[in-house]
Amino acid sequence: MDAVWMLPVLLLVLPLLLWTSSTFVFYFKKCFYVAYMMLLAVITIPICILKSGGRDIENMRVIRFMVRHVKYFLGLRYQVSGWEHLQTDGPYVIISNHQSSLDVLGMMEILPDRCTMIAKKELIWAGTVGMICWLGGIVFINRQKTRDAKNVMSGAAKTMLADKIRLWVFPEGTRNQNGGLLPFKKGAFHLAIQAQVPIIPIVFSSYSNFYLRKEKEFKSGTITLKILPKIETKGLTADDVTTLSEQSFSVMHSAFLEISGQTAQSNGPSTH
């Protein structure tokens, strides 16, 4: 009998909490996001296996289709500019700033065909989400072991050229919500120069107007995505990595300030 009464009580209390408590909304949306993405992965895994037989970058088309609607449940919208800069044939490296796991929704909004990402190795253990990442051809690196990471990047450069794929990299190396860009690690730039493919910078506007982790706020909001002109690497060598990293940081930080409409802080252009 208690269980029978619990459901109507929950149906009454839940809207009240969603209306009155921003902290409850924060945790509710976070939990919903994680649980729903895992559920979508459960549905998508057999589709990818049936479509491609296993691990294949073409599975990213399926993943992109399955994830694109999630933004509506969270009250998020995207404004995209610079679409023409993604109309580039052949392989290239996309670099973007990294603020939270919500970045995945922005990625799926504009992800080009034959494009996957480079991610931390720990992600592969994230249940059904880790499995779908593996099926989508995501390249996993061990951030704690520099030599292993370099070997993976070297292999990725060869794969890019052989299979004509694109790779999405977060050069900051970790999530950052401090109002600017963290110093760039240089793996993405070594990758682009080794493969002699262009870099396409993409900038997400600040989430601070709707998502504040420390303050436990998660409101509806609009995210601006700005796709910047490609940066060529033909003829560059390993000696040019630092200059390329600094150039990329500069244009991305300027764009971040522009589309975020705020004064942001940065900690410098690049690091190893």
Residue 14 above 70 pLDDT?
no
Average pLDDT of the residues in 5-10: 66
Average pLDDT of the residues in 115-130: 92
Residue 89 above 80 pLDDT?
yes
pLDDT at res. 128:
95
Residue 78 above 50 pLDDT?
yes
* C-alpha 227: how far from chain center: 14
Average pLDDT of the residues in 171-179: 84
Q: How many residues does the chain have?
A: 272
In angstroms, the CA 62 to CA 44 distance is: 7
pLDDT at res. 268:
47
The amino acid at residue 7 is L
Q: Which residues contact 24 (CB under 8 A, 6 or more apart)?
A: 17, 18
Q: Find which of 7-21, 153-167, 216-230 is predicted with most confidence, using mean pLDDT.
A: 216-230
- What would the pLDDT profile of 194-252 be if each residue is shown by its tens digit? 999 999 999 999 999 999 988 999 999 999 999 999 999 999 999 999 999 999 999 99
Pairing, β 166-169 against β 115-120 = parallel
Residue 72 above 50 pLDDT?
yes
Average pLDDT of the residues in 27-47: 96
**What is the H or E stretch that residue 77 is in?**
strand 76-81
pLDDT at res. 20:
73
- What would the pLDDT profile of 92-121 be if each residue is shown by its tens digit? 999 999 999 999 999 999 999 999 999 888
Task: Provide the percentage of residues in the chain whose pLDDT is more than 90.
Answer: 72
Q: What does DSSP assign to residue 83?
A: G
Count of helices and strands (H, E) across the chain: 9, 9
Number of Cβ atoms within 10 Å of the Cβ of 3: 6
In angstroms, the CA 209 to CA 213 distance is: 12
In angstroms, the CA 208 to CA 176 distance is: 11
pLDDT at res. 151:
76
Mapping DSSP to helix (H, G, I), strand (E, B) and coil, where does residue 144 land? coil
pLDDT at res. 6:
67
pLDDT at res. 7:
63
